[in-house]
Chains A and B, each alone.
Chain A
Amino acid sequence: MTGLMVDAQQVHKSFGANEVLKGIDFQVAPGQVICLLGPSGSGKSTFLRCINHLEKINAGRLFVDGELVGYRQQGDKLHELSAKDVAKKRTEIGMVFQHFNLFPHMTALGNIMEAPCQVKNEPKAEVRQRATELLAKVGLGDKASAYPRQLSGGQQQRVAIARALAMRPKLMLFDEPTSALDPELVGDVLAVMKDLARSGMTMIVVTHEIGFAREVADTVVFMDGGVVVEQGPPSEIISNPRHERTKAFLSQVL
């Protein structure tokens, strides 16, 4: 409707009495790469999880590709979506986790094939073909039959990216994808993400990699205390932050 991939309007989220998101306003156009920066506890990850309804929002409106997340509007009333409908919408949004969360009882190829085969009921041979191509694309063409524990952290995260891509999502969410990696393994994962950004994928990346944000992001969003403090192109936010809090954060991580 609005032509936006993600449209957050005054999104609030609390865990009990603790309000983590205090009114997030935030837009992402298709094809954009957004980097969410901010100190830990600022609500970045929580907001990311709201986008595919892993967390329920308490107030405000959140749209993905013009449709409400988790609800259906009839008149002025909101109806909760059934678990089945929520699951269906999640197939269009890929998510990559800080701790990879690969399925340890399946091979790399099995991890990638699982959702297309089980959720979308696509023919196995076709999925296998696509999964093999995806593995090659993330530089792990020779690891198809390896189990996650036989892979390094960086390799696991690249398999996780391929797993998300196998569903052909229109939006990719990255929740601190390199935070659990040894420094020398970060580069490979970031390289895959850069390729993906160049291919035109809409991406929202929660990260502490300022260099990546500067190079790849169209927009950098700085969050603190559950609100968006400032946002803009990386050249502006990272090089010339206006707010004191942004300055303080950047001086610590740079």
Chain B
Amino acid sequence: MTSPDNVVTGRPENIRAVPVRHPWRWVAIAVIAVLAAMLVHMLFTNPNLEWPYVRKYLFSQIILRGVWMTIKLTILSMAIGIVLGVVAAVMRLSENPVVRGAAWLYVWFFRGTPLLVQIIGWFSISLLFKTLAFGIPFGPHFAGENTNKLVSLFVSALLALSLNEGAYMSEIVRAGILAVDEGQTEAAQALGMTKLQTMRRIVLPQAMRVIVPPTGNETNGMLKNTALASTVGIFELLRSSEAIYNANYKTIGLLIVAVIWYLAMTSILQVGQFYLERYYGRGSTRTVALTPIQRARLALMGNHGRGGAN
């Protein structure tokens, strides 16, 4: 079929072909470069950005206190929200229809109303219940306390954020639990593990692989949703910035301060999420994702070795 001259003997030469040209890529690069240059130019030359005030207030006491309040609200709300979410998710998967229904109702209500409404609602809870007390249902009660004393401003914001978060988390956790193969539960039961042991040791750790990425998303969202608490007068990051620019009218400068802090905090979260995903991904892929440090070390030592074929 082939002429004798064409018969390949030994290893053929490496192919050296003319690569396909991509003229439009260069156009895109040019456009983006011009826009970036304009942005940088504006950042340096526009006096309305009020950079001196950014510098002055970025690490000021009042802003730092606001940052701390934002962090506190985020961490506590997420922690409570995750616990509520796991409980509600396990309840949703219960065999008992009443338990299942209660969890469904919780999710339905707190996911079905705006977070801002819930924040204002918890802030105004004392209008609904003047005192809160322990007692016999429908009967007499014993120890009681004025609602406004029990539910401080901070507690009302925390309640609103965490109850709302729990409703969203429960759906995320439920999806994670359902993603774990039924054979895992069977194997655990066949070994004599109880339902609780099976959930805690076998199902949830595997569900985490599915749960962590959207939870990272939720944490990121929570960090920003804490700004809603400013509406009821909690001095978190946004409210603290507002307080300053209400006095000195340097609105843009102080909004930039807030933006810088929000970006800094969400960036740190992203790093944490990477390591969490890496931890819970163990055993699910043949090779574990490299950390940036490992990648840098590998790049320094030359690209051959582990990075190659798998």
User: Quick one: which of A83, A93, A104 contacts B283, CB cutoff 8 A?
Assistant: A104
Contact, CB under 8 Å: A167 / B284: no
Could you say which residues of chain A place their CB within 8 Å of the CB of B195?
83
Q: Which of A139-160 contact B (CB under 8 A)?
A: 147-150, 160
Could you say which residues of chain B place their CB within 8 Å of the CB of A106?
283
Contact, CB under 8 Å: A87 / B186: no
Q: Closest CB of chain B to A42's CB: distance in Å?
A: 21
Interface size class, chain B: 20 to 34
Contact, CB under 8 Å: A101 / B187: yes
The 10 sampled A-B contact pairs (Cβ below 8 Å) are: A83-B195, A90-B191, A99-B183, A103-B187, A103-B188, A104-B284, A105-B283, A115-B192, A115-B193, A160-B187
Contact, CB under 8 Å: A149 / B285: yes
A binding-site residues for B, Cβ under 8 Å: 52, 54, 83-84, 87-91, 93-95, 97, 99, 101-107, 114-115, 118-119, 147-150, 160, 163-164, 167
Least CB separation from A104: chain B residue: B283
Least CB separation from A119: chain B residue: B192
Could you say which residues of chain A place their CB within 8 Å of the CB of B202?
103
Contact, CB under 8 Å: B189 / A54: yes
CA distance A181 to B231 in the complex (A): 62
CA distance A104 to B209 in the complex (A): 12
CA distance A164 to B201 in the complex (A): 17
Q: A54-B189, A90-B192, A103-B202 are in contact. Are A118 and B286 (CB under 8 A)?
A: no
Contact, CB under 8 Å: A147 / B190: no
User: Quick one: which of A84, A90, A99, A102 contacts B190, CB cutoff 8 A?
Assistant: A90
CA distance A81 to B280 in the complex (A): 36
Contact, CB under 8 Å: B286 / A87: no
CA distance A225 to B283 in the complex (A): 40
Contact, CB under 8 Å: A119 / B191: yes
CA distance A54 to B193 in the complex (A): 13
Contact, CB under 8 Å: A84 / B206: no
